[in-house]
Structure 1
Amino acid sequence: MDGTVRNNIKIGSKVLAIQKQDQRSGKLIEGIVMRILTNSMTHPRGIKVMLEGGIVGRVQKIL
């Protein structure tokens, strides 16, 4: 599922996200959504979330 639409993402969802420093390499991390940080309904590069463990990244894919 698409990670650019806020309504698709729920707290507790398992997602693949990309951190700011990994945007060039495209390295994805898998995690569980703890908080949704983006306020707008959509974002072209992915909705920003905080994963369990405090990692912040943009959702690329919802698992």
Structure 2
Amino acid sequence: MPPTRAQIRPGITVDIVQKQDQPSGKLTRGVVAALLTKSPTHPHGIKVRLTTGQVGRVQATAPDDLGA
């Protein structure tokens, strides 16, 4: 189960899957710049924009940020 919106905030490191990588499941790691999904949960993950400008759905928080 992907993290909820409450578990994600700007500045944390996350693993996202970008739209073009959905079939392969390739993850991209980056730092959250903005949350784009308004609902508290989403079955495929909360959509975020990374500081690099990449957009995708959060699959996991990076181990460094667990419990932070």
The aligned counterpart of 1:60 is 59
- Could you tell me the percent identity over the aligned residues? 52
- The correspondence of residues 1-63 of structure 1 with structure 2, limited to 5 A, is 3-63=2-62
Q: Is the 8 A contact 2:3 2:61 kept in 1?
A: no
Maintained 8 Å contact 2:15/2:30: yes
Aligned partners of 2:13 and 2:32 also within 8 Å: yes
Question: How many residues are treated as equivalent by the alignment?
Answer: 62
Query: Secondary structure of 2:28's partner?
Result: strand
**Structure 2 gap ranges (5+):** 63-68
Asked whether the equivalents of residues 48 and 56 of structure 2 are also in contact (C-alpha less than 8 Å), the reply is yes
Kindly name which structure, 1 or 2, has the bigger radius of gyration based on alpha carbons.
Answer: 2
Cα offset for 1:53? Answer: 1.2
Q: Is the 8 A contact 2:2 2:43 kept in 1?
A: no
Q: TM-score with structure 1 length normalisation? A: 0.93
Deviation of the 1:43 alpha carbon: 0.2
SS in 2 for 1:43: coil
Runs of 4+ in 1 over 3 A off after TM superposition: none
